[in-house]
């Protein structure tokens, strides 16, 4: 059974299956993205909001401080070798509030076998869609010190 590792700056890192992701409220996204090679693609995804899954894992930031929350990133990897990065501010309701999903269904088919799919409904193209999600890392990027500045 496919699973994903939720790790990073979280109080409760976890390994989650598609069945585990069904514990969160199910959201639906009817999307059309323009694929350069195949033209427009129409799909219906259902699943958990990524922000709910991360919130359930206990992000280590101070939730009362917007500037603190704005420093956090998510790196998502898939079994197909694709990777993408999102900012927490894209997901956070105090910022963009984008309904990014960890999909458990695609066009009415359960994804238990292949694994969950990252879905970014606001994207015009599907480049940040990641199939068979294996890792979701949450944390901050340390900016290297500038020498001689």
DSSP 8-state code for residue 22: T
pLDDT digits (tens, 9 = 90+) for 117-145: 999 998 888 888 999 999 999 999 777 77
pLDDT of 63 higher than 80: no
Domain ranges of the chain: 3-140
CB atoms within 10 A of CB 6: 23
Task: Report the distance separating Cα 109 and Cα 75, nearest Å.
Answer: 26
Least confident piece of the model among 56-65, 97-106, 107-116 = 56-65
Q: Give pLDDT, residue 42.
A: 93
pTM of the model: 0.91
pLDDT score for 39: 83
Contact in structure between 46 and 55 (CB atoms under 8 Å): no
Q: Which CATH superfamily is domain 3-140 in?
A: Oxidoreductase, molybdopterin-binding domain (3.90.420.10)
On the question of pLDDT at 112 being above 80, the answer is yes
Q: Mean pLDDT lowest for which of 59-68, 70-79, 85-94, 102-111? A: 59-68
Mean local confidence (pLDDT), 57-70: 86
C-alpha gyration radius of the chain: 16
Average pLDDT estimate for 91-113: 95
């Amino acid at each position: 059974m496919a699973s994903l590792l939720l790790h990073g700056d979280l109080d409760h890192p976890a390994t989650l299956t598609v069945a585990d992701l069904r514990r969160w409220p199910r959201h639906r996204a009817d999307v059309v993205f323009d694929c350069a090679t195949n033209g427009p693609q129409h799909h219906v995804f259902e699943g958990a909001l990524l922000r709910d899954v991360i919130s359930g894992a206990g992000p280590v930031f101070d939730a009362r401080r917007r500037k603190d929350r704005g420093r956090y990133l998510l790196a998502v990897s898939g079994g197909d070798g694709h990777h993408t990065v999102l900012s927490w501010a894209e997901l956070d309701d105090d910022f963009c509030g984008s309904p990014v999903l960890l999909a458990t269904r695609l066009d009415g088919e359960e994804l238990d076998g292949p694994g969950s799919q990252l879905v970014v409904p606001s994207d015009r193209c599907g480049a940040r869609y990641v199939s068979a999600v294996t890792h979701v890392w949450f944390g901050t990027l340390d900016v290297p010190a500038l020498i001689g500045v």
